[in-house]
Structure 1
Amino acid sequence: MHAVTEAVLHRHSTRAFEPRPVDFDLLRELIDVARYSPSSGNLQPWKVVALTGHALQLLKDEVADTLRRSPRGEGMGYPIYPENLTAEYQARRAQCAEDLYATLGVTRGDREGRGRQFARNFRFFDAPVGIILAVDKSMGSGQWADLGMFLQTLMLLARERGLATCAQACWTLVHQTVERHLELPEELMVFCGIALGYPDTAHPINTLRTERASLDEIAEFRGFNI
């Protein structure tokens, strides 16, 4: 199988990691190569902050303090989802959540269990590397699409090297704390977090594979001799 195809087909959101560290030179190389992601007008509207060890723990500790004071967070820096998802999209989102919690034996009515799992987001699922991806507040939807391409490129590169990732939009819920802690310039805002490390293949949560819409549902082919 071709390397890119393998990475695309086998990358998935990983939510349990081995404790072993990620080599600094490898991490630096992944981000260095991801710089070549396309962006409109070559704006390259991304800022990356990667943390591990004590630096990562300090961020997690401060975020934990924020959530103890304000369990619902600080308000979103941007809306993760539209206010009124149509039934089709809402069904996909709900099914993803149900399938995720099912791997842990957490039922729909188990709010405490779901809360515990959701809280693990803010520990980067105990991954050895936590990454914050930020963007200039003046950027528009086109540049946010560029951020998505950078993010996907980085995750595929990680997969190629035997690493696993989970992109986490939830960090916008504590964006003020993160921006303050990392001393981000005023013009930058948190876009997402990325948990990165070696996957714990024995953990049941990592068995989750979300469904995808069929090719015929998402694509039309016109003018081809078929």
Structure 2
Amino acid sequence: MTTLPDHINTNMLTKAVDQTINSRYSVRAFLKDREVSRSVIEDILQVACRAPSGTNTQPWKVYIVSGKSRERIVERVCQAQLDINNGKIDASQYQESFKYYPEQWVSPYIDRRRQNGWALYGVLNIQRGEKEKMAAQQLRNFKFFDAPVGLFFTVDRVMGIGAKMDIAMMMQNVMLASKARGLDTCPQAAWNHFHQIVLQELNAPTTETLVCGMALGYADPDAVVNQLQTPRESIVTFSQFLD
């Protein structure tokens, strides 16, 4: 069998990896009826667990929900969010498992956050002040944007902040391995507010903390929301080379 020169193999690998990274984005509309096989998910997780972790602690745990288990979580969390929206319960009843965002926003982060929000509402034709439409879009988070599979990532409470760095790298591997197989994802911190419900439905031990949820499936190519491609800052803004 003829083998390609090393420099050609390297170039092909580089292009494939770069293409996978550059083509990944947060999908917010999936083909609900197009299933993802268990074997494909297992392959993705087997690759993803090669992520680095401090002293090889591998602190991640992943719960995969589909079918009835997915439906139960979607129903309970959507109802909780609706009860909050309708004033039936106080939002303080559901506190996030850890502080993902700062208590006090400053530039440039608040500017990028606002730009992202209005870009999303722009493609969805949601205008300022249309609270009902905004609430409906928020609720789609808790329907996994119609993705047939949901993933929940947890770590043991005994672990330090480094474990969240470790599991974040593992999650990135999940997203890239999925993309390489023609699947798409959307990481979702929104689930953290309802971690009590989620962990209960997962029958997870009380020693675990929910870090993030993730939608997994095949992107709906006709959904206008999937036209949104968030920009990235130039490396000039975040890098500094020292001689």
Which TM class, normalised by the smaller chain length?
over 0.9
TM-score, with length taken from structure 1: 0.95
SS across alignment from 1:87 = coil
Rounded Cα–Cα distance in structure 2 between residues aligned with 1:114 and 1:104: 10
Kept in 2: contact 1:66–1:177 (CA 8 A): no
103, 106, 109: which one aligns with 2:123: 103
Q: Which stretches of structure 1, 4 residues or more, deviate above 2 A after TM superposition?
A: 64-73
Kept in 1: contact 2:183–2:217 (CA 8 A): yes
Structure 1 equivalent of residue 108 of structure 2: 88
Please state if 1:33 is matched with 2:53.
no
Structure 2 stretches of 5 or more lacking a match? 1-11, 86-90
Task: Give the counterpart letter for 2:166 in structure 1.
Answer: D
Kept in 1: contact 2:120–2:228 (CA 8 A): yes
Structure 2 equivalent of residue 178 of structure 1: 198
Structure 2 equivalent of residue 21 of structure 1: 35
Structure 1 equivalent of residue 228 of structure 2: 208
Offset of 1:111 from its aligned partner? Answer: 1.3
160, 165, 187: which one aligns with 1:145: 165
Change (3 A) 1:218 1:64: same
Kept in 1: contact 2:81–2:139 (CA 8 A): no
Task: Give the counterpart letter for 1:21 in structure 2.
Answer: E
150, 172, 197: which one aligns with 1:130: 150
Structure 1 equivalent of residue 178 of structure 2: 158
Q: Give the aligned CA root-mean-square deviation in angstroms.
A: 1.3
Structure 1 stretches of 5 or more lacking a match? none
Rounded Cα–Cα distance in structure 1 between residues aligned with 2:226 and 2:82: 28
Rounded Cα–Cα distance in structure 1 between residues aligned with 2:16 and 2:159: 33
TM-score, with length taken from structure 2: 0.88
60, 67, 82: which one aligns with 1:46: 60
Kept in 2: contact 1:38–1:149 (CA 8 A): yes
Structure 2 equivalent of residue 6 of structure 1: 19
Structure 1 equivalent of residue 3 of structure 2: none
Task: Give the counterpart letter for 1:146 in structure 2.
Answer: D
Kept in 1: contact 2:156–2:207 (CA 8 A): yes
Rounded Cα–Cα distance in structure 2 between residues aligned with 1:144 and 1:210: 24
SS across alignment from 1:21 = coil
Q: Using the aligned pairs only, state the percent identity.
A: 37
Kept in 2: contact 1:164–1:197 (CA 8 A): yes
SS across alignment from 1:193 = strand
